[in-house]
Amino acid sequence: NRPSGCAFHPRCPSVMGGCATEVPSLNKFGRGRVACHLHRSLTQEDKVAVHA
């Protein structure tokens, strides 16, 4: 059975409060896509640094 909220929250090292209850939306990230609550809290500078 799949857990409630984000499917990765039981094993994610960056789990946050909403991860256990809310499924994250799929968003564009660089050339790909990401579905993560942490992604919403990143600033544009953080997003650029991830790709560097």
Q: Does residue 49 surpass a pLDDT of 80?
A: no
Q: Does residue 19 surpass a pLDDT of 70?
A: yes
In the chain, % of residues over pLDDT 90: 25
25 is in which domain, residue-wise? 1-52
Total domains in the chain come to: 1
Read off the pTM: 0.62
39 contacts: CB under 8 Å, gap ≥ 6: 24, 27, 29
Q: For residue 22, what are the CA distances in angstroms to 12, 15, 26, 37, 44?
A: 15, 12, 12, 9, 23
Q: What is the residue whose two structure tokens read 């640094």?
A: 49
Split at pLDDT 50, 70, 90, the class of 20 is very high
The whole-number pLDDT of residue 47 equals 52
Q: Do the Cβ atoms of 20 and 37 come closer than 8 Å?
A: no
